[in-house]
Structure 1
């Protein structure tokens, strides 16, 4: 069974930005062009979704500076103009010595980003 087949980059693959030598974007382009792909792991990492949390137009995100001060973490906010409670508005990325630590750090980072009405 498939829930979705999407021959395009997807937010669930953004973790490759901090874990692999080639990101999902480069992997897709190389695969489509028939070029070699490198799927080797650079370091363990994880991502956690940042949900909209509110039904609103034009939101801003509090907590971004706090997250970016933590070594090994990064954010990708998608810039969507409209928020829904369960809409994916971004992801927190974390790299660490092991996946468990990376997962915990990504979840913590995502929890610190708080969408609110502008």
Structure 2
């Protein structure tokens, strides 16, 4: 499955991806797969245990929303699926412009 408007693949986690989470929450929702390359191939996460705890905490502490964070396995490789649903929020808003770019704006 290729990346598209509501699906994003990331090889590893960076806090800058909180913008994507916020953008999905302000739009129609979406999924971020951490541990997959741009083509959707699984690259495996060595630090998946730590990320399973830190990602939901960062999302909750930064934006005040919760999302589903699930560990997925394919053979001996592990990756994380983060599911974000549409939320009404008065926090900072981001609009998704392309699959690789985010534009900042306030309501």
Report the TM-score range of the alignment, normalised by the length of the smaller protein: 0.3 to 0.5
When normalised by structure 1's length, the TM-score is 0.32
Which is richer in helix?
1
When normalised by structure 2's length, the TM-score is 0.34
